[in-house]
Structure formats: structure tokens, C-alpha cells
């Protein structure tokens, strides 16, 4: 007969909080009409993010949010998703139904969503059609505090 002994005095291993992170992809209504409705939507929102969805994600304390997803990331080019939304390059999302992606949810919108939720951003790179240089420039665009071409572009696009 097997025995199980439980020692309630001994603490167990601590689980890294990031294991409970979440994933967001341009699939179905995850992004558009799910997380993001745009600033002019009649659906209650703050800076385009649905307030009801943000509130629930805050309540469950999402520690980290991954974007632009899985398969979609392999055809996503981040420069198409920055700058004025009305001038962003459109593309066909060949992974999820061939729908037209207008890139109105891009890097700045993702960072705003993470700010509202109170979580860490996690961007995954395009390993399908992107390059190491493209990923390097994206990291520089998002994180570099000094003077550089990508940091200056970020500031021109409205984010310090």
C-alpha cells in the first residue's frame, strides 16, 4: 500500500508568476472587437482598449502578455504597425482566414494595452518572413532610451 506524507511546515517550490502569462493573436476576434475596438467605438474604451476586457484581465492579474501571437507573428512586420493608423500598410492574414489586417493595432497599442492591464509586454519575433535585423530594430524601437534612429522614430510616433 502506498503512503502519502504531507509536511505542512515545509514550503514548496515557488512557481514563477510568468508561467501564468497570456497570449494574444490576430485570430478571430481576439484583437479586433475583443481587446481593441478603436477610440471612436461606441463600445466603452480607453484609448481604443475595451474597458470590460481590460478590467477582467486586471482582476486575474495577468503578469505578462505575448503578442503578436503565434502563426501570425511569422508574417507580421512591426514597421507596418507604427505611425498614424490611417497610413499603416494593410496586409492579408494568410494564417487565419485570409482576412485583411489593417494594422490599426500595432506596437504602441500593444504597449498601451499592457499599461492598462498592468502587465509586462512580451513581443515575439517574426521567424517566418522577418530578419534578425528587423527584430533588433524592433527591440531598439521599444526600449532604447538614448539617441538612435529607432528611438527617434518612436518619439516621432508619440511614445517616449
pLDDT in tens, 84-128: 999 999 999 998 889 999 999 999 999 999 999 999 999 999 999
pTM: 0.90
Torsion sign over Cα 105, 113, 49, 141: negative
State percent of the chain over pLDDT 70: 100
Under 8 Å between Cβ of 79 and 141: no
d(CA 40, CA 5): 59
pLDDT tens per residue across span 23-33: 999 998 999 99
- Count Cα neighbours of 146 within 13 Å in the Cβ-side half-sphere: 2
d(CA 65, CA 105): 15
d(CA 24, CA 39): 20
Amino acid at each position: 500500500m502506498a503512503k502519502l506524507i504531507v509536511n505542512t511546515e515545509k514550503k514548496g517550490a515557488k512557481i514563477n508568476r510568468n508561467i501564468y502569462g497570456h497570449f494574444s493573436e490576430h485570430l478571430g476576434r481576439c484583437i479586433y472587437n475583443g481587446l481593441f475596438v478603436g477610440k471612436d467605438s461606441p463600445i466603452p474604451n480607453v484609448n481604443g482598449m475595451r474597458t470590460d476586457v481590460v478590467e477582467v484581465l486586471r482582476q486575474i492579474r495577468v503578469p505578462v502578455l505575448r503578442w503578436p501571437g503565434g502563426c501570425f507573428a511569422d508574417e507580421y512586420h512591426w514597421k507596418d504597425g507604427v505611425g498614424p493608423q490611417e497610413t499603416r500598410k494593410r496586409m492579408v492574414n494568410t494564417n487565419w482566414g485570409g482576412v485583411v489586417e489593417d494594422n490599426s493595432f500595432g506596437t504602441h497599442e500593444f504597449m498601451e494595452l499592457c499599461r492598462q492591464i498592468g502587465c509586462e509586454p512580451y513581443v515575439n519575433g517574426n521567424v517566418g518572413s522577418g530578419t534578425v535585423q528587423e527584430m533588433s530594430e524592433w527591440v531598439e524601437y521599444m526600449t532604447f532610451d538614448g539617441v538612435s534612429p529607432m528611438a527617434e522614430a518612436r518619439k516621432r510616433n508619440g511614445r517616449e
